[in-house]
Amino acid sequence: MAGLEDLYREIILDHYRSPRNRGELAVPPAHRVEGFNPLCGDEVVVYLEVNDGVLTDLRIAGQGCSISQSSASMMSAAVKGRPVEQARKLIRSFKAMMSIHEHSLGGEDSTEDPEDQSEADTLKPEDLGELAALQGVVKFPVRIKCATLSWNALAQGLDEIAAGVLPLDRT
């Protein structure tokens, strides 16, 4: 039986208590994406700015539980200032780490994104730095959606930017 310490690692509580990159960015030039967790009503808003293929700025707003908030905070620290391709690789790697359980549960994410299945271009949890602390979440299946909320929003934002969706197109 998984214990609370598996879920609430110290680094997670630290990001929860002092979240990094909290705030908003002006839209435009920034792009804004919302993620909803239908389970608990949590809402995360990701603001991102991409210039010349680099994620130059990123801010997190919204409210949620310690897992969704700390995951968003850790994500922001990990991808800010990175080239978009590296950010995408991190997203893939993070989702692969979080999907271990969803596969065994036959969860909806297991077939959602065939990209996720290719392990070739993903990092192993031990290469994910402090993000690996979130690995314990897979032992608490209902909380996986909390941990992936901001990552899905970021992925959606990067896709929309790549597809040239202007912020104004979405109301």
Partner 1 sequence: MTTTVEAGPLDVTALRREFPILQQRSHGRRLVYLDSASSSQRPRAVLDAMDHYYETTHANVHRGVYAIAEEATRQFEMARRAVGRFIKAPRPEVEVIFTKNATEALNLVAHSYGRHLLPDRKAILLTELEHHANIVPWLMLAAERGVELRYLPVGDDYRLDLRDLDRLMDGVGLVGVSTMSNVLGTITDLSPIVQAAHAAGAVVVADASQLVPHRSVDVRALGVDFLAFTGHKMLGPTGIGVLWGREELLDAMPPFLGGGEMIRDVRLDGFTPNDLPWKFEAGTPPIAEAVGLHAAIGFLESLGMNRVAAHETDLTSRAIEILMERHGDDLKIFGPTTDLPARGGVLSLAFRDLHAHDLAQVLDAEGICIRAGHHCAKPLMRRLGVTATARASFYVYNGEDDIQALSDALDVAAAFFG
- Residues forming the site for partner 1 (CB under 8 A): 1, 3-4, 7-8, 13, 17, 39-43, 63-67, 140, 143, 146
Query: Among residues 152, 4, 167, 27, which one has the least CA distance to residue 91?
Result: 152
Q: What is the DSSP letter of 21?
A: S
Of 95, 92, 83, 97, nearest in space to 148 by CA: 95
**Closer residue to partner 1 in complex, CB, 66/86:** 66
Nearest residue (CB) to partner 1, 40 versus 165: 40
Minimum Å gap between C-beta 58 and partner 1 is 23
Angle at CA of residue 147, ends 146 and 149, nearest 5°: 65
Q: How far is the CB of 32 from partner 1 (least distance, A)?
A: 19
For the bound state, the minimum distance from the C-beta of residue 97 to partner 1, rounded and expressed in Å, comes to 20
Task: Kindly tell me which of 27 and 39 has the beta carbon lying closer to partner 1.
Answer: 39
Q: How far is CA 75 from CA 1, 91, 159, 168, in A?
A: 28, 9, 17, 25
Rg of the chain over all Cα atoms, to the nearest angstrom: 15
- Of 39 and 162, which has the nearer Cβ to partner 1? 39
State the nearest-atom distance from the C-beta of 87 to partner 1, in Å: 27
Residue 129, class by beta-carbon neighbours within 10 Å (0-12 exposed, 13-18 middle, 19+ buried)? Answer: middle
Nearest approach, Cβ of 80 to partner 1 (angstroms)?
Answer: 24
* Closer by beta carbon to partner 1, 146 or else 154: 146
